[in-house]
């Protein structure tokens, strides 16, 4: 029986680098397919506590987001399981960072909870109101995506690139110009 896996993009697309988790989830959805077809890509946005049911519905959950950490360089990527994430010195600069940490703490007390991995990247700018990424995060983009792919592959899922590629710029454009009419959105 195959595991149910959720890839959750978390963050706020309107505050520059804080949207990187959302952009990465959308990018993965547009550029890759998974075999077996057991990965559900979720727009977690700034849902925070509302993501709690997913931690009980799925066996494996991968959360992609930012993690403000002044001890690390901008663009540095970390991969932590739930316990490592909660044991670390969490610097919470955004409401989303606070809610993700608190949600994981609360869910860790429940009887049933998914195995959780958090892939975070240190942002440069989470204050500017802009649907974009800093040059530093653009430079780290490919490494961030490859970390996500390897994490999924470690769950015995084959990740294959689709024939048509979808660029980071196209991803940002969709978040900047959502449209149901033109089928642009998450």
Per-residue pLDDT tens digits for 41-66: 999 887 777 888 888 899 999 999 99
Nearest CA to 145 out of 129, 156, 133 is that of: 133
Task: State the architecture of 5-176 in CATH terms.
Answer: 3-Layer(aba) Sandwich (3.40)
Beta-carbon-side half-sphere exposure of residue 46 (alpha carbons within 13 Å): 10
Q: Give the mean pLDDT of 106-125.
A: 87
Per-residue pLDDT tens for 140-177?
999 999 999 999 999 999 999 999 889 999 999 988 88
Tokens of 147: 């970390």
Question: Mean pLDDT of all residues in the chain?
Answer: 88
In sign, the C-alpha dihedral spanning 42, 183, 22, 160 is positive
* Per-residue confidence band for 184, with pLDDT thresholds at 50, 70 and 90: low
What is the reported pTM?
A: 0.90
């Amino acid at each position: 029986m195959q595991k149910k896996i959720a890839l959750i993009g978390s963050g706020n697309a309107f505050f520059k680098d804080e949207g990187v988790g959302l952009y990465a989830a959308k990018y993965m959805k547009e550029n890759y397919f998974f075999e077996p077809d057991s990965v559900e890509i979720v727009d977690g946005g700034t849902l925070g506590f509302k993501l709690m049911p997913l931690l009980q519905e799925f066996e494996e959950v991968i959360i992609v987001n930012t993690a403000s950490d002044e001890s690390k360089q901008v663009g540095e990527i970390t991969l932590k399981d739930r316990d490592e994430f909660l044991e670390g010195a969490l610097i919470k600069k955004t409401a989303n960072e606070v809610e993700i940490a608190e949600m994981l703490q609360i869910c860790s007390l429940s009887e049933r909870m998914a195995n959780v991995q958090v892939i975070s990247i240190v942002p440069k700018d989470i204050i500017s109101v802009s649907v974009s990424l800093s040059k530093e995060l653009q430079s780290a983009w490919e490494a961030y995506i490859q970390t996500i792919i390897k994490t999924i592959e470690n769950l015995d899922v084959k990740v294959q690139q689709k024939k048509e590629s979808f660029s980071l710029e196209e991803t940002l454009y969709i978040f900047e110009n959502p449209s149901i009419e033109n089928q642009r959105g998450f």
